[in-house]
Amino acid sequence: MENNIHGLIFLPMLGFVLLSLQSRKNEKAISNIAVGTLLAQLLFFFVMISAWIFGGTPVWEHSDFTLYAHQDYLFQVDFLWDKVSCIYSGVGAFLVFLVSYYSKTYMHREEGYKRFFMNLMFFFIGYNIVVLAGNFETLFIGWEILGVSSFLLIAFYRNRYLPVKNAVKVFSIYRLGDLGILLAMWLSHHFWHENITFNQLNHQDLVLEHWTHQSSVGIAISLLILLTAMAKSAQLPFSSWLPRAMEGPTPSSAIFYGSLAVHVGVFLLLRTAHFWEAQGLVKWTIGTIGVLTAVVASGISRVQGSIKSQIAYSSIAQIGLMFVEMALGWYDLVLIHFAGNAFLRTYQLLVSPSVVTYLIKEQFYHFTQKEKTVEDTLPKRIEYSLYLLSLKEFNLDSFMYRYLWNPAKRWGAMLSFIRNGWLWLMALIILIGAYVLLQAGGQWPSYRHYYPYVFAIIAILLVLKAFTERRLVFWSWGMIIMNHFMVTVAIMFNEKFTWDHVALYMGGILIAGALGFFILFKLKRAGHAINLDQFHGLSRAHRRTAFVFLLACLGLTGFPITTTFLGEDLIFSHIHQDQWLLALLTGASFILDGLAVIRVYARVFLGPHAESIFEMGYRSS
């Protein structure tokens, strides 16, 4: 049965394809295909787990194929089935099936009925790839799918202002997690000198041998993995994104942010536990973050006026306790805790509309105030201070804006001089750089070590300006493409980066960039004055165009639909272990690139229509 692990991924893919062929008005066919496919996947899981248990619960590892191989670089699609993936896969299969069945009637007559089920199936594909991944490269494919499907589900009510704004906000936190995992993959390649599999991490002798010689690199990898898990599982200081993600439909909130996706950070720590468990510093850091998150999130949840927000913060608190259990080495308890929390939060969110009605009735007719609470045991000044801090959610949102996004916006505003002339200058620099590279013939000048950093800094300045551009959408799109060119030149100066590598990386960028320009010019010819200072909401009038432009955006961000996804991973293999600044600049360029692209898509196609020719929802949902 180990050769059939990928069947758990193939069945949702088949359902996604079949759904795409259906008319968006045929609700019966759409729901039957979705529920039928997920039921088949659930039954297939029972077959898999039965064979696994009767076979003595071995560890199954199956390498399907190699996408790309060059010298010591290998991108291999690898799947792993063990106790951790079994629990996560089983809980996911059961809950997604139940939520899809529930959504058949809950989403009835919604304008985006087909879109909802396709997004749900798309999310489940990514979730299965993550929990069944046998190495970092395969896991990162599913990780990217989870990020995009999250954005699409939060912005499901795409004609409203707040869901779209919160979708961009959540996606920005996810991209921070992507930076952590990108850098962890880069350091891991130098730590092991090969593309390591998760199954190899279970060999303690091999792990300890490498830790002995490179303990500082190992700690850095562990902390980067922790950063990724914190962002994905909404731990401090990233906790504020989870309640904002509840803007989507209740079923998607239940399955995505109540039960499955929010626990993926816990899964990442479980999957890599045998790598970092011997390091006291890492374990203490994980435990401290878990304790602080559990305490703060519990206080916030007790004063929330929205039931969804209350459930969200309660779930965050429980995940904080899972981090503590992880630090103590209680991995089996973490799995049990995950399953219990996932089922509970799914149930709570699905019944939340009914609970609100019930509580309103109780408040009017049977309300009795509690005589004493836990907080009453504290001094009044401390009690009132904690109450006010909890009401303000400990200013977590303000913290992220003040120390992360606002500085980026200020730096971008300082780059207002980058306009038309600068783009031509960048093109000239690229041509000169390529000429010097060709003429060098392997004989480099002594100061060539500075070239990669110069071009990497130019690249990040360009994409920072694209991210903060408030007016010209064409310049923003062009600077995003130019950023990729600059990254390519930086790596070409850093190490032997052959032209086939350049074609692998830039091929998808050029195609996606040209397609994006074509669509933007097409909208301009149609009479739309597209600026980035507001939402234009063109998706309702240009449904197919919006979908094609989304594909162009995904191609430009290195999503695994073009060769650019392989190219980005290949670029990091050409950055040396001691070049941490170059790796950080390159990774930050990729992260800001994704944010800038999604921002362009959201401003052009999502939100209320700029000309108010359609019925619009209120600013707040």
pLDDT in tens, 276-291: 888 888 999 999 999 9
- Residue 546 pLDDT greater than 50, yes or no: yes
Per residue in 60-107, pLDDT (tens digit) is 887 767 777 766 667 788 888 989 999 999 999 999 999 999 999 888
Do 532 and 473 meet the contact criterion of CB atoms below 8 Å apart? yes
Q: Is 482 helix (H, G, I), strand (E, B) or coil?
A: helix
3-class SS of residue 315: helix
What pLDDT score was predicted for residue 380? 75
Return the bridge partners of 98, or none: none
Please answer whether residues 132 and 85 qualify as being in contact, where contact means their C-beta atoms are separated by less than 8 angstroms. yes
Per-residue pLDDT at 343: 92
- The SS3 call for residue 237 is coil
User: To the nearest whole number, what is the mean pLDDT of the chain?
Assistant: 84
Q: What is the pLDDT of residues 124-138, one digit of tens each?
A: 999 999 999 988 888
Mean per-residue pLDDT for 251-257? 85
pLDDT of 14 above 80? yes
Amino acid of residue 478: G
Print the SS3 string covering 454-475. HHHHHHHHHHHHHHHCCCEHHH
Question: Would you say 175 and 147 are in contact if contact means Cβ atoms under 8 Å apart?
Answer: yes
Q: CA torsion 397→238→252→85, rounded to 10°?
A: 180
pLDDT surpassing 90 at residue 601: yes
What is the per-residue pLDDT for 350? 87
Token pair in block for residue 440: 């060098």
**Separation of alpha carbons 76 and 94, rounded Å:** 29
Q: What pLDDT was estimated at residue 396?
A: 81
Eight-state DSSP code of residue 372 = -
pLDDT category at 620 given cuts 50, 70, 90 is very low
3-state secondary structure of 68: strand
**Per-residue confidence at 619, pLDDT binned at 50, 70, 90?**
very low
Place of tokens 């099936």: 97
> pLDDT band for position 2 (50/70/90)?
low
Q: Which tokens sit at 598?
A: 């999604």
HSE value, Cβ hemisphere, 13 Å, CA-based, for 98: 15
| Residue 178 confidence (pLDDT) | 87
Residue whose structure tokens are 């919006």? 546
Q: pLDDT tens digits, residue range 307-339?
A: 888 888 999 999 999 999 999 989 999 999 999
